[in-house]
């Protein structure tokens, strides 16, 4: 057959078809709008750490709710839409076919924007699962899954209907991203709904933490990295007008990257209660990730061979070079940070914050900007409005990144040094945690300045692109011609196996990439669930009382885990500061876990019984009354709002379903116990001269805080 089609090549008529630029333009606008919102959120959060008054004493604007808004907006709205912009532009062109379905494309666009809107409303309202970068509640999670799979179907059908034999590397990266994120999202989001907009994670404690960071780490991998590598493989050679440096390198680094990346999740849990073996796996795979990551960087940089003179003049290339360099730096730092002794310093400090912002501001941000500056003149059919302004954006953005990251690295090192320092007497040199935070305030301020500079550049881009669009006219569709696939299909038996078996067969590519990303997670996660020795039982650990459970949900709602960890690592400095190190058996009723990833405030794992109830009451009303100089927001509404106890029976039943050993029928009488415990606390507060009523939210929160870490104290 192949011979026949070859000889017919000249005689076959060319197909004529259209590329849709309108969808691309729409995604580009969404990228810009949500980028602005996400960055403004980040800026607000940054300055809240310097000026706590910026929390405005409102539930909706406290750091604990703004921070997830910032991360979700930047990751899923800005970078997500940026990915889709580039994908809907490049996929039809490299496959020589329009997208399979315009309707699915439209559905993808509007569905995704609605999801983002739902997130932007629900997160400030306090609807959160408390799983980082997966905070959205279950109805939104389902919507995400539907939209995501729709887009995946559209992509794979477009690949099947292509007019080139061999699928280009950019599309491999897109496809793998879709496959992996679908898997990660579904597994991590499994939860039992309690009501509309409230659910409990299916997993508890150690298992929940492992699943969460398997997800969290690979959200970085398959949402922020591989989609953007795909974009790089299209837009960099287009902008530089150079061939890709090495096809072989792209094959090896693609497969190595997606296979190895998925294993590295546990490096977010070094020195925690996660079993040692899983931690070790996380470390070794992170180290092996270095070369595959750099494979992407080198294929990008070496593609620019012979075009470096243009890099000096072309602002698009400038953005792309800095983006790729930032990617190289972040992926060098990543493996180093997963070495245990380095991680002991970086974990819970601003070092991690600096690290991710090199990636987010440098790699994702700058690549997006480069692509937008390249794209707008082409779809609006006129040169960029102002090269000068674009250059200004480049420089102020670069300086902004430096101003952001340098102070954060410094802050991370200083704070860790202060945490770990002992006096010759054998006491902590900085026993007051607050001291280690307030000393960072100037650095936090500088970080805010860096963010401001970056944002100024971003607004310059908005103006520039706006003017470009206003002065040009959108080329809504572009006509192209190509021979049908059947006419060009040669199917050389002499081709290398990977081309015959995978790169020409979209479904095979889909299946093999799924296998590659599924293996690592399975090997790490399944034994943690199945082998009971991984979580040794502690007899004294009992389920939460109904009041404590309600208090815990308030803790989750207010996003306390964003600044307070619940994980005392087995270091001398930490057991000296907080008490006994955390054991995996303590968390068996924590649906979901609250280990946290950043210690802006002290660890709370052993806070139970440390202070009187009245201390907590006063502290939540105004933290500076008990800790002068504290940068924690005030929570006055907790003192005023009534606790909703109508949800108690449903919550107890959900917990029973998850295997928490409440007695049968306890859901009916749980509120009686709740009232009893609330009375005790109200009574104790009254003794300290605080008048309140037992049905306030603060009572439940105090009950939960006083319980924290005490189960194991009782056993000692």
Partner 1 sequence: MKFRTYLETITGVGIYPLMSLLIFFIFFVGLLVYVFNLDKKTLDRMKNTPLEDGSFRKGIFTLLFIGLGFTSSAQSPESKPMGNEELVLYVMLIFLVAIVILLAIFLTRVMNLLFRINNPGLGTEGVAPEIHWWQRFSGTSVAVQDEKKILIEGHDYDGIQELDNAMPPWLQFLFIGTIVFAILYSVYYFGGFGPDQIGELERELAVAEEQHKVYLAKAGASMDENSVTVLTEQAGIAQGKTIFETNCAACHGMAGEGGVGPNLTDEYWMHGGSINDVFKIIKYGVPEKGMISWEKQLPPLEIQKVSSYILTLKGTNPANAKEAQGDLYVEEGTSGVAEETLE
Closest CA to 116 of 158, 77, 171, 142: 77
Collapsing DSSP to helix, strand or coil, 477 comes out as strand
Residue closer to partner 1 by CB (options 97, 201) is 97
Mapped onto helix, strand or coil, the DSSP state of residue 339 is coil
Looking at beta carbons only, is 166 or 676 nearer to partner 1?
A: 166
565-594 residues in contact with partner 1 (CB under 8 A) are: 570-572, 575-577, 581
Nearest to 47 by CA among 445, 633, 632: 445
Nearer Cβ to partner 1 (197/428): 428
Q: Which lies closer to partner 1 via its Cβ, residue 169 or residue 645?
A: 169
Does the footprint of partner 1 cover residue 29 (CB under 8 A)?
no
Distance from C-alpha of 603 to C-alpha of 274, rounded to nearest angstrom: 17
Closest by CA to 367, choosing from 408, 312, 406, 328, is 328
Residues 317-376 that bind partner 1 (CB under 8 A): 329, 332, 335-336, 339, 341-342, 344-345
Residue 192 has φ and ψ, to the nearest 5°, of -105, 115
- Judged by CB under 8 A, the stretch of 36-44, 86-94, 142-150, 193-201 that binds partner 1 is 86-94
# of chain residues touching partner 1 (CB under 8 A) = 98
What is the footprint of partner 1 within residues 589-628 (CB under 8 A)? Answer: 609-612, 614-615, 618, 625-628
Q: Which residue in 107, 245, 489, 637 binds partner 1 (CB under 8 A)? A: 245
Provide, rounded to whole angstroms, the least separation between the CB of residue 355 and partner 1. Answer: 12
Cα–Cα distance for residue pair 711/219, rounded to 1 Å: 34
Based on the shown chain and the rule CB under 8 A, indicate whether residue 58 belongs to the binding site for partner 1: no
Site string for partner 1, 436-465 (x = CB under 8 A): ---x--xx--x-------------------
Supply the minimum distance, in Å, between the C-beta of residue 326 and partner 1. 13
Query: Helices 366-379 and 315-337, interaxial angle, to 10°?
Result: 150
Question: How far, in Å, CA of 51 to CA of 105, rounded?
Answer: 44
688 binds partner 1, rule: CB under 8 A: yes
| Beta carbons within 8 Å of 394's beta carbon, 6+ residues apart | 315, 318, 319, 322, 369, 457
If one asks whether residue 280 binds partner 1 (CB under 8 A), the answer comes out as: yes
Per the CB < 8 A criterion, the answer to whether 409 and 349 are in contact is no
CB of 693 to partner 1, least distance (A): 20
The 10 Å CB-count burial string (b at 16+, else e) for 116-126 is bebbbebbbeb
Distance CA(380)–CA(25), nearest Å, equals 9
Site for partner 1 in 154-183 (CB under 8 A): 164-166, 168-170
**422 interacts with partner 1 by CB under 8 A:** yes
Given 259, 261, 271, 363, the residue binding partner 1 (CB under 8 A): 271
Q: Interaction with partner 1 in 284-323: which residues (CB under 8 A)? A: 284-285, 287-292, 294-295, 298, 302, 305-306, 308-309
DSSP character string of 374-425: HHHHHHTTS--S-HHHHHHHHHHHHHHHHHHHHHHHHHHHHHHHHHH-B-TT
Across-strand partners of 477?
20
Can you list the alpha helix ranges (DSSP code H) found in 425-501?
433-438, 441-471, 485-488, 497-498
- Given the complex with partner 1, which of 153 and 399 has the nearer CB atom? 399
Residue whose CB is less far from partner 1, 207 or 349: 349
From the CB of 235, what's the least distance to partner 1, in Å?
A: 10
Phi and psi of 642, rounded to 5°? -80, 145
Compare residues 10 and 426 and give the one whose CB is closer to partner 1.
426
Q: Which stretch binds partner 1 (CB under 8 A): 10-18, 128-136, 219-227, 247-255?
A: 247-255
Of 92-131, binders to partner 1 (CB under 8 A) are 93-94, 96
């Amino acid at each position: 057959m192949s011979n026949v089609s070859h000889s017919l090549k000249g005689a076959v008529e060319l197909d004529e078809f259209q590329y849709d630029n309108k969808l691309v333009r729409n995604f580009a606008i969404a990228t810009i709008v949500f980028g602005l919102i996400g960055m403004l959120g980040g800026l607000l959060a940054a300055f809240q750490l310097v000026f706590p008054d910026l929390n405005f004493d409102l539930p909706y604007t406290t750091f604990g709710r703004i921070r997830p808004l910032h991360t979700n907006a930047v990751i899923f709205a800005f970078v997500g839409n940026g990915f889709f912009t580039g994908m809907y532009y490049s996929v039809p062109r490299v496959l020589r076919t329009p997208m399979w379905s315009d309707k699915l494309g439209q559905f993808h666009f509007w569905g995704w924007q609605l999801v983002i809107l739902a997130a932007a409303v629900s997160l400030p309202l306090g609807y959160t699962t408390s799983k980082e970068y997966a905070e959205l509640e279950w109805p939104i999670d389902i919507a995400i899954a539907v939209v995501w799979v729709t887009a995946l179907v559209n992509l794979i059908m477009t690949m099947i209907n292509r007019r080139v034999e061999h699928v280009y590397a950019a599309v491999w990266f897109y496809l793998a991203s879709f496959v992996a994120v679908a898997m990660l999202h579904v597994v991590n989001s499994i939860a039992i709904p309690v009501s509309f907009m409230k659910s409990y994670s299916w997993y508890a404690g150690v298992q929940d933490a492992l699943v969460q960071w398997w997800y969290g780490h690979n959200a970085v991998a398959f949402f922020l990295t591989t989609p953007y590598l795909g974009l790089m493989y299209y837009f960099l050679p287009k902008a530089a007008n150079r061939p890709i440096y090495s096809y072989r390198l792209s094959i090896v680094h693609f497969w190595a990257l997606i296979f190895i990346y998925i294993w590295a999740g546990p490096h977010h849990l070094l020195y925690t209660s996660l079993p040692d073996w899983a931690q070790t796996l996380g470390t070794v795979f992170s180290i092996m990730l270095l070369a595959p990551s750099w494979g992407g960087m080198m294929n990008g940089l070496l593609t620019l061979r012979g075009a470096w003179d243009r890099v000096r003049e072309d602002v698009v290339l400038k953005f792309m070079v800095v983006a790729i360099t930032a990617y190289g730096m972040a992926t060098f730092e990543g493996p180093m940070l997963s070495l245990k002794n380095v991680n002991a310093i970086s974990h819970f400090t601003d070092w991690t914050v600096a690290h991710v912002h090199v990636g987010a501001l440098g790699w994702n941000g700058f690549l997006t900007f480069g692509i937008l500056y390249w794209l707008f003149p082409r779809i609006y059919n006129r040169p960029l409005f102002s090269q000068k302004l674009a250059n200004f954006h480049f420089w102020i953005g670069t300086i902004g990144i430096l101003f952001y990251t340098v102070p954060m690295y410094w802050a991370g090192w200083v704070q860790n040094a202060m945490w770990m320092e002992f006096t010759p007497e054998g006491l902590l040199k900085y026993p007051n945690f607050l001291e280690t935070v307030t000393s960072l305030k100037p650095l936090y301020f500088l970080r805010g300045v860096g963010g401001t500079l970056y944002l100024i550049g971003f607004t310059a881009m908005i103006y520039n692109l706006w003017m470009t669009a206003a002065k040009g006219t959108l080329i809504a569709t572009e006509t192209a011609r190509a021979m049908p696939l059947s006419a060009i299909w040669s199917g050389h038996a002499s081709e290398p196996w990977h081309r015959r078996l995978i790169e020409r067969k979209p479904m095979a590519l889909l299946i093999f990439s799924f296998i590659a990303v599924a293996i690592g997670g399975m090997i790490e996660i399944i034994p943690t669930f199945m082998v009971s020795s991984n979580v040794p039982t502690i007899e004294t650990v009992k389920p939460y009382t109904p009041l404590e459970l309600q208090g815990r949900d308030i803790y989750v709602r207010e996003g306390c885990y964003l600044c307070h960890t619940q994980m005392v690592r087995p270091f001398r400095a930490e057991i000296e500061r907080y008490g006994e190190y955390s054991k995996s058996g303590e968390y068996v009723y924590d649906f979901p876990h609250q280990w946290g990833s950043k210690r802006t405030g002290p660890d709370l794992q052993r806070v139970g019984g440390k202070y009187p109830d009245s201390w907590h009451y006063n502290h939540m009303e105004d933290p500076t009354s008990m800790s002068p100089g504290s940068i924690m927001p005030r929570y006055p509404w907790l003192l005023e709002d009534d606790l909703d106890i109508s949800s108690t029976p449903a919550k107890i039943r959900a917990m029973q379903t998850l295997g928490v050993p409440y007695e049968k029928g306890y859901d009916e009488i749980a509120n009686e116990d709740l009232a009893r415990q609330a009375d005790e606390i109200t009574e104790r507060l009254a003794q300290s001269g605080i008048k309140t009523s037992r049905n306030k939210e603060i009572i439940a929160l105090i009950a939960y805080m006083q319980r924290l870490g005490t189960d194991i104290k009782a056993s000692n």
